Amino acid sequence: MNSASITLDTRGEKCPVPLLKLAKTFRDQPLIVQIEIWSDDPASVADIPAWCRMTDHELRSHEKSNDYWKFVVLRKA
């Protein structure tokens, strides 16, 4: 299987847009296996890890970088 990784910059977008874009990208792009998503919406800190647990995707990392958070989410088979 070919694999790919992309970055979604959702800074400036409010809940639920960052989470919806993350889910849509995985749904629409079957070869994408890893997404780094940037968000400055405080709700993302709870929403993205919860979504990963509910969908059985792996939250590989989560860190604050200056004025936004970076999440790395890995698609599980």
pLDDT recorded at residue 1: 43
CB 73 within 8 A of CB 52: yes
CB 60 within 8 A of CB 75: no
Considering the entire predicted model, what is its pTM? 0.91
Quickly tell me which residue has 């959702």 as its tokens.
10
pLDDT digits (tens, 9 = 90+) for 43-58: 999 999 999 999 999 9
- Select from 56, 58, 61 the least CA-distant residue to 38: 61
Report the catalytic residues. Answer: 15
Whole-number average pLDDT of the chain: 93
- Whether the per-residue pLDDT at 2 is higher than 60: the answer is no
